[in-house]
């Protein structure tokens, strides 16, 4: 465990022409003391294809959203030897402000999970990668930082709980209880995951935030009832790059949890930026801890 101080700094919301999908350079880092959990590097090749192992499958499907009033697309990863006669837990994996239901494929979740299964390091699970922009036009186009587009990420909470989860449970062989459901995301999706996961403790037992964006609610809003949080949540896990201006959003929650004795992990990725290097590392570790 290592303590550091984050210096006073304010970064205005901006969209760079060469920004990575999933987030722009925006956020704020006032001075705050935070205790990070130990960083352990992922093994070499964790995100590279391995010959001779069983592989899961990626498929794209559609569901009817009453919340939005349209048919919406979603990407789904099924583990190797997916068997309809068995029940599987589900991880809902959310993208960033500039992405959609395909963005996480840049982070090769199928390869990461296949490698974990080959080494017996993760429990077989279904991974659902939706479009977290719950609007009739849910494409990442136009002013993606505009109020209307950003509002769609907030509306997605209802689309996720009322429309997508029931659809997944009807189409695939899944458990339907809170203990077998997890949520995590990158950047804007990380903020969504913290907001929706901690805001619906009866729906999600595991919550992860990777480089969570400023849409993340205040800790007191995320965890208004510490006792209920301790009883219902099985894992609150976060990671953010040491050079990512969005660190404040995660460190603020970590400091609150430590103060209130709420189990919480925050890993600082050394020299990490706001990109898939950090997010792949996040999925690799988070997937081993859930279920």
Backbone angles phi, psi at 71, to 5 degrees: -90, 130
Model pTM score: 0.90
Collect all residues with Cβ–Cβ distance below 8 Å to 40 and sequence separation of at least 6: none
pLDDT of residue 15: 28
Calpha distance 121→265 (Å, rounded): 19
Calpha distance 213→178 (Å, rounded): 25
Our CA dihedral for 54, 86, 92, 261, rounded to 10 degrees, sits at -110
Q: What is the DSSP string of 64-116?
A: EETTTTEEEEEEEEE-TT--TTS-B-EEEEE--TT--TTGGGGG-HHHHHHHH
Collect all residues with Cβ–Cβ distance below 8 Å to 14 and sequence separation of at least 6: 24, 25, 26
Helix axes 188-199, 147-158, angle to 10 degrees: 30
In the chain, where the domains are located: 2-289
Count of C-beta atoms within a 10 Å radius of residue 28: 17
> Could you say which of 3.40.50.2300, 2.40.30.10, 3.40.50.720, 3.40.50.1820 is the CATH number of the domain covering 2-289?
3.40.50.1820
Per-residue pLDDT of the chain (291 residues; tens, 9 = 90+): 433 333 322 222 322 222 333 333 444 455 578 999 999 999 999 999 999 999 999 999 999 999 999 999 999 999 999 999 999 999 999 999 999 999 999 999 999 999 999 999 999 999 999 999 999 999 999 999 999 889 999 999 999 999 999 999 999 999 999 999 999 999 999 999 999 999 999 999 999 999 999 999 999 999 999 999 999 999 999 999 999 999 999 999 999 999 999 999 999 999 999 999 999 999 999 999 999
Collect all residues with Cβ–Cβ distance below 8 Å to 32 and sequence separation of at least 6: 5, 6, 248, 251, 252, 255
């Amino acid at each position: 465990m290592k303590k550091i101080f984050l210096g006073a700094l304010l970064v205005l919301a901006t969209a760079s022409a060469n920004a990575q999908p999933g987030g722009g350079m925006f956020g704020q880092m006032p001075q705050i003391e935070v205790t990070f959990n130990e960083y352990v590097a992922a093994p070499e090749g964790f995100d590279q294809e391995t010959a001779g192992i069983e592989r899961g499958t990626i498929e794209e499907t559609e569901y009817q959203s009453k919340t939005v009033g349209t048919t919406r697309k979603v990407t789904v990863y099924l583990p190797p030897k997916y068997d309809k006669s068995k029940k599987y837990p589900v991880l809902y994996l959310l993208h960033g402000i500039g992405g959609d239901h395909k963005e996480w494929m840049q982070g090769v979740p199928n390869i990461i999970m296949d490698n974990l299964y080959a080494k017996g390091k993760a429990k077989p699970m279904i991974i659902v990668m939706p479009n977290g922009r719950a609007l009739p036009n849910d494409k990442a186009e136009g002013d993606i930082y505009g109020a209307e587009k950003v509002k769609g990420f907030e509306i997605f909470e209802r689309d996720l709980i009322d429309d997508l989860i029931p659809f997944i449970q009807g189409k695939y062989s899944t458990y339907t209880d809170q203990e077998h459901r997890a949520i995590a995301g990158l950047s804007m999706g990380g903020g969504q995951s913290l907001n929706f996961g901690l805001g619906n403790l009866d729906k999600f037992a595991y919550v992860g935030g990777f480089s969570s964006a400023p849409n993340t609610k205040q800790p007191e809003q995320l965890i208004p009832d510490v006792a209920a949080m301790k009883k219902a949540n099985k894992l609150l896990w976060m990671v953010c790059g040491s050079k990512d201006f969005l660190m404040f959003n995660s460190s603020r929650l970590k400091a609150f949890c430590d103060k209130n004795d709420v189990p919480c992990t925050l890993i600082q990725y050394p020299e990490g930026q706001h990109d898939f290097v950090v997010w792949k590392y996040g999925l690799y570790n988070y997937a081993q801890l859930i279920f």
